[in-house]
Amino acid sequence: MKKRIWFNQWFTTVAHFINMIRSNKDGYQFTVYGTSVNKDALYLSYCDAAYQEPNINGEEYILFCLDFCRKHHIDIFVPRKEKVLIAKNLHQFHQLGVKVLVCPDASLMERLDNKEKTYRYIANHPILRKYIHIPDHLIVENGETFVKAYHALKDKGHKVCFKPVVGEGGKGFRIIQDKAESIEELFYQGTSANISYKQACEILFQQSKFPPLMVSEYMDGYEYSIDCLAYDRVLMAAIPRKKENGRVRELENNKELVEIARKVNEVFNIPFVYNIQVKYKDGIPKLLEINPRMSGGLHYSCLAGINIPYQAIKLLLEGKKAIEVFQPRFGIRSSYIEKEVILNNIYSNSTILYK
C-alpha cells in the first residue's frame, strides 16, 4: 500500500528530494502531497496532489496541519514551516497515526532555531567548545548598541557582517562596507549582500527597538555545508560540501569537518537528517548554524552515492532496523543549470491546486 507523504511550504529544491524518495531501492511507494502559500511554488508540480495553504502562523497553523493530516489520511509529514512548534505538538500528530520527520526534542529544536542560544550553549559545553569555533559576535536590539558592536569588532581588526538571530538561509544577512558602492560595483558586479555602514545605521535607527540582530566578524574563506544522516547516536554519513566560486560545489573528504559532525551527533543526537554550516577564516572553520532539517543543497551531497532523503524517511518508518553506515564518494564537483518546468493547471474555484 502506498504511503501518503506531505511536504509543507518547502523551498524549490525539495522537488529533487521528492524524486529521490520515489526512486528508492526498497520498493516503498508514496503518494506525495504538497502545500504552499504560493500557488505557483515549483515543487507542487512534482506532487501527486497539491493545495494552497492559508497564510497563517503559530497555533493556528498547527490546527491547519492536524486538520490536513486528518482529512487526507497522511502517513508521513515532512515539515519545514513551524518546525519548532510542530516538535512541541508531536503527540497530537502521533495520535492521528502520523509519523513526523522532525527532531522530537523540542527544547533542542528551539535552541538550534536561535543562533545566540546555539553559540552560547556550544561555547559553554566541555566537549563541543574544543571542536567548534564560534565567530566573534555581539547581539544588538537597537541602533545605539549596533554602533557600539560595530566599532568593538572593527577595533579587533574584523570586517563586520550581521544577520537576524532567528532566521533561515541568507535572509537579512549583510556585509558592512566602510564606504558606498562604486560605479564599477554597481554596474558590473550584480546583486550583492553588501551594505554601507551609513546605510545600515539609517535603517536600524528607524525604530527604537528591533528583533535581536547578531553583529559578527565576517569570515572570508570557503563556506561548507555538512549534510548528516544519523539515528540513535549513530552517524550514518557526514558529507562536507564546499561552495566554490559561482555555482560549483565539491564533496570534500575534510576530516576536520567530519569530526565536527561526529561531535554534534554525539552531543545533540539529532535524528534523521540535518545540516551544519561553517565558514573558514584564517584556516579555521567557524560555525554559522546547525539546521535540524534537510538542507536546500542536499541533492548535491547525494551525488556521493547515498539517497539521503529516502534513508531519512526509512529511518522514520523502520527505526533502528534502517541504520546503515555509508561510505560516501568524495571528490565529486558539480554545478547546475536552470530547467523549464510546465506548471500544472489549477482549479480556480477551490483551494485545491490539483490532484
The whole-number pLDDT of residue 61 equals 98
Task: Judge contact between 146 and 209, C-beta under 8 A.
Answer: no
CA dist., res. 103 & res. 7, Å (int): 16
The whole-number pLDDT of residue 98 equals 99
CA dist., res. 147 & res. 160, Å (int): 11
The whole-number pLDDT of residue 183 equals 77
| The pTM of the whole model exceeds 0.85 | yes
CA dist., res. 236 & res. 194, Å (int): 38
**Cα radius of gyration (the chain):** 21
CA 262 to chain centre: 19
Residue 246 Ramachandran class (φ > 0 left, ψ -120 to 50 alpha, else beta)? left
The whole-number pLDDT of residue 353 equals 53
The whole-number pLDDT of residue 346 equals 47
Q: Grid coordinates standing for 266?
A: 554525539
CA dist., res. 132 & res. 259, Å (int): 10
Q: What are the phi and psi torsion angles at 136 (to 5°)? A: -65, 125
The whole-number pLDDT of residue 76 equals 99
Question: What does the pLDDT profile of the chain (355 residues) look like in tens digits?
Answer: 899 999 999 999 999 999 999 999 999 999 999 999 999 999 999 999 999 999 999 999 999 999 999 999 999 999 999 999 999 999 999 999 999 999 999 999 999 999 999 999 999 999 999 999 999 999 999 999 999 999 999 999 999 999 999 988 788 999 999 877 777 776 767 667 899 999 999 999 999 999 999 999 999 999 999 999 999 999 999 999 999 999 999 999 999 999 999 999 999 999 999 999 999 999 999 999 999 999 999 999 999 999 999 999 999 999 999 999 999 999 999 999 998 989 975 433 335 554 4
Three-state secondary-structure class, residue 120:
helix
